Structure 1
Amino acid sequence: MRSLNLHLKILIAVLVLLGAGITGYQIFVLGIPVSEDETDDLWNIDAKVAFIATPNVPVKVQMYVPPLAHDFVSLNESFISNNYGVNVNRIDGNRKVTWSARRASGNQTLYYRLVLTKRYSQDKPKVKGPVFRDSVPLDGPEKVAADALLAPIRQHSADVETFIGETIKRVNNLNDDNVKLLLGGDSSPVHKARVIDLLLSVAHVPLERVHTLRLVANMPQVPELWLRSFNGNDWLYFNPETGEQGLPADRLIWWTGDDNLVAVEGGKKVLVSFTLNNSEMNAIRLAKLTDENTDADFLEYSLYSLPLQTQQTFMIMVMIPIGVWVILILRNLIGLQTLGTFTPVLIALAFRETQLGYGIALFSLITALGLSLRSYLEHLKLQMLPRLSVVLTFVVVMIATISLLSHKLGLERGLSVALFPMVILTMTIERLSITWEERGGGYAMKVAAGTLLAASLAHILMSVPQMIYFVFTFPAVLLILVGFMLAMGRYRGYRLSELIRFKAFTQDNEAGA
């Protein structure tokens, strides 16, 4: 007996841990939303390239587009142009689109459109960078100024991270004569970045320029310059103006390197403008779109991979264990009397279409008429099988009659009575009749009321949209439910109704003592 108890406890623990583990993996690792109402941001980015084409000259426009290798997933990408060929290539970790045309003249407009999200981005393989580079040769005043700046930087830094941060801080001190000399009167962010790069090259610290776009809706945006360096394990990002470390979450890396965003051959006066806006999308739909546009397969082995019609069937099926769990609690813990375990659940399923009020009324009417017929058939001394056949046929006739009358009276809800399981109604009538004969009419009505109450409670819980979504999306929670059912299977204590029933007896014993 002890080994059996241990076996049961281990089984319950395994089921609960397995169910909780799978559900936790879906929520925290795959990022599947726990609520159907949860939404996520979609970013729509339009880059407009306008220029004047030189007549009778081939035109080639090259523009960097995001590599999407940093925390974002592309849902849609399109290149919009008129009479231009389009080609996209990867160059040194960047992506570059090339629009080309044999002839063009006058004002030209090209568009690049990108729709992306961040939620379902996956950890991509780390791209390593250099950890050493040769220094740029300096001489004269520039060498003296660089050495003067690097001496305190080395003294106040402990590693690559602090060395770069201290360098940026020093270069942004425009009151320093050495900084003034190196800047040469040009204190623009781009030139500051060149001076920072120069000082770091003397110290053999590699540096890359990173051009980002800030994701802010309905505001004009221009690419923002950041700096980055590889420390042997990770890329370190720095703001060249403030020395701030770490790329903010709302920055999208557009391209890296020293080149300009756009290069035009056969044209002039090129201008690039960005338009950003964001919208919200249902998170589970977003997960499906992400599956289609990446190799992540978040939902590949979930019920969402089934055909839509099959999904609707399973949305009902996965809720049946929830209904059974409700009946289990009502019978084993509270002590409610019902006609078996599954009859209330099947009645609760029928209530999905009839709705609760109509369902109870129709069920009560059909059952009452069926009991009357069953009582009449009892006087004919029929065997069980013919008797059940007659009752079943009578149930079908009653359902058809109620549906017809409801239609004629304009009560369309009554048509849904056809969804009641006829066999279940027939067996309910038969079992209630037998209970009536064996235990009396009062007890039979008590059991019938308990069945309706249990079916109603099960229907209410099984119809909660949030519950349906959660169980369908995370079916592993049913393993936790099975563990609870196994634990309930060994419960031998008093039911709530029994405690109330024997309360007076306990009080009499205490008074007698």
Structure 2
Amino acid sequence: MSRLPFYLLVGLLMVAGIGLSVHRHITLEVPWTPGEQREVWEIEALINFTAQDGPVLVNMALPTRQQSFRLLTEHTASPGYGLAFLEEAGGRRAQWSIREASGSQQLYYTTQMLVTPDASPPQIEPPELRNDIIWERPYDTAAAQMIERAWNRSADGATFARELIRDFGDERQGENSRLLLTQFERGPLLVRLLNQAGVPAREVSGLVLEDARRRQTLSQWVQVFDGERWALFDPATGEQGHPDNLLLWEASGQAVLEVQGGTNSRVTFSMLSRNQPAAAAVRSQLAEETLLTFSIHSLPLEEQALFQTILLIPIGALVVVLLRILVGISTSGTFMPVLIALAFIQTTLVTGLVGFLLVVAVGLVIRNYLSYLNLLLVARVSAVIITVIAIISLFSVLSFRFGLNAGLTITFFPMIILAWTIERMSILWEEEGPREVLIQGGGSLLTAVIAFLAMTNPWVRHITFNFLGVQMILMALILLLGNYTGYRLLELRRFKPVTED
């Protein structure tokens, strides 16, 4: 029979698991390792204006998705005002409205921005050139000469913008540039000149982030489209590049703040930087999920805590498969060690080992007495279950009386599994002797301890909980191991006499 479908299935599971995990890491910046820190900026915008005893409409630009920052949360404080978030072609805007207001008014907008230096840039659509640029005399002649001079010293749109900005600097400033600056502000003037030369450009507003700064204002920058991306220029110095601490607040060339029904409007910003675990920083992004970004984070916290433990069971299963198939360790029950390892997670390793040995030892003594009663299997196992419950209750009470609070956690052991373990070991004792009981019991404990160490590893817990594609990878590995038919490591002892001869 051809094994091709089997290997195709394994390969499909492996590729799907790795692909989903990598997609999740790249798209949502979920870290590979636990404890990784991410920088988060909390920014508060304060809008002040004076209402004129009538209806008021306030429209403010909001930061949108960009390569270096990602929006985590946002909320407002505006008592008595209606609020709407508008999606426009130029970006997002917040709109406050009220039927009647008078006197000094204050509106607050607070957002948390996650620093994502390695994020992929958003999709860019080529902008439309402005064709309605009209100059009055003598500014038209000065503008044409400025464009011609900078054009001759450039090779593309970005270098043309750089040369044009430098012509307005103190070192190169001539009569034409001084004439134009008497009529126009530098930022809008540069945009007009660039658009007239056929180079798409726009003026944008950015916030320079500095920790613990208050009452800051936006600075003006010029963006130039070079055919593939937007290049950012400082209109004062001509320096090209996006500073790491610059958050573009309004990037469509529109007004940052518009107030109807009010005067003396202005917006100031306060900011604070802090670090927090990367998993927590991106958790709020996981509420709106697609099939590719599916995660447990959308569930309530109680269910999340439950699934964090459940998702560790395949790790324990992989350990059992490795030790039984490749090493050849015998266990009492196939996956009983995994359940014991789960109990160890709740009780801690030392307390769990002591509790397990005490319960099984006492249970074997009582089960030995029950064998003389010649009970049927179902009744005998039921009696053992009741005995295990009584033993656990007795140990818990004694631990509490002696001040050993760790002993109370023995109740986390699966009682049915303990009862069946005692029953199997008792039968094994009668049929194979105490040596086989020690081999299988010791193998079960060794497997449970190794599974416990694997399941409590911080990196393993982080990966299994945050990357569900890992479950497909574990399935593929278990399928491959299930296809192994060679010798087990412990079986190689049979060949020792051959090597001695």
Give the TM-score, by structure 2 length: 0.84
Shift of 1:31: 2.5
Q: Which residues in structure 2 correspond to 1:14-163 (within 5 Å)?
A: 14-49=12-47, 64-68=60-64, 70=66, 72-73=70-71, 75-80=73-78, 93=90, 95=93, 97=95, 104=102, 108=104, 110-118=106-114, 126=124, 128-137=126-135, 139-140=137-138, 142=139, 145-163=142-160
Contact in 2 for aligned 1:44/1:277 (Cα 8 Å)? yes
CA radius of gyration, larger in: 1
1:373-395: CA deviation from partner (whole Å, max 9, x where unpaired) = 33333344444334333333322
For the 8 Å contact 1:88–1:98, the answer to whether it is kept is no
Aligned counterpart for 1:218 among listed residues 212, 218, 235: 212
**1:508 and 1:112, CA in 2 relative to 1: closer, same or farther beyond 3 A?**
same
CA shift for structure 1 position 49: 4.6
Inter-CA distance 133–230: structure 2 relative to 1 (3 Å threshold): farther
What is the CA-CA distance between 1:342 and the residue it aligns to? 1.0
Give the Cα separation in 2 of the matches to 1:49 and 1:215. Answer: 18
Picking from 171, 195, 202, the partner of 2:168 is: 171
Measured against aligned partners, the alpha-carbon deviations of 1:2-51 in whole angstroms (never above 9, x if no partner) come to x13x3332222111111111111111123233345334333222334556
Cα displacement (A) at 1:477: 0.9
Distance 1:455 1:370 in 2: 19
- Mapped contact 1:66–1:254 kept (Cα < 8 A): yes
Match of 1:250 among 206, 225, 245: 245
Structure 1 residue 338 displacement after superposition: 1.5
**Code of the aligned partner of 1:407:** F
CA contact (8 A) 2:114 2:281 kept: no
Moved more, 364-373 or 379-388: 379-388
- Rounded to whole Å, the distance in 1 between the matches of 2:497 and 2:326 is 20
Instruction: Single out whichever of 455-464 and 257-266 deviates more from structure 2.
Output: 257-266
| Residue 109 of structure 1: how far off its partner (Å) | 5.6
1:324-339 correspondence runs (5 A): 324-339=317-332
Q: Quick check: 2:61–2:256 contact (8 Å CA) kept in 1?
A: no
For residues 178 and 163 of structure 1, what CA distance do their matches in structure 2 show? Answer: 20
| 1:98-497 matched pairs, under 5 angstroms | 104=102, 108=104, 110-118=106-114, 126=124, 128-137=126-135, 139-140=137-138, 142=139, 145-172=142-169, 174-183=171-180, 191-200=185-194, 202-219=196-213, 221-230=216-225, 234-255=229-250, 257=253, 267=263, 272-291=267-286, 301-497=294-490
Question: What does the per-residue CA deviation read over 1:406-464, in whole Å, with 9 as the maximum and x for residues that have no partner?
Answer: 23323233233233222222221222223223332223212211211111221222223
Contact 2:72/2:284 (8 A) holds in 1: no
Which deviates more from structure 2 when the two are superposed, residues 42-51 or residues 160-169? Answer: 42-51
Q: Is the 8 A contact 1:133 1:204 kept in 2?
A: no
What displacement does 1:104 show? Answer: 4.2
% same residue: 31
RMSD, aligned α-carbons:
3.6
Alignment: residue pair count = 494
How big is each residue's C-alpha offset from its partner over 1:84-109, in whole Å with a ceiling of 9 and x where there is no partner?
7778778883737567785645xx36
1:106-147: per-residue Cα shift (whole Å, max 9, x none)?
xx362432213246899766455323524533545x555444
Counterpart-to-counterpart distance in 2, 1:118 and 1:334: 47
Closer, same or farther: CA 202–411 of 1 in aligned 2, 3 Å: closer
Contact 1:131/1:231 (8 A) holds in 2: no
Q: TM-score normalised to the size of structure 1?
A: 0.82
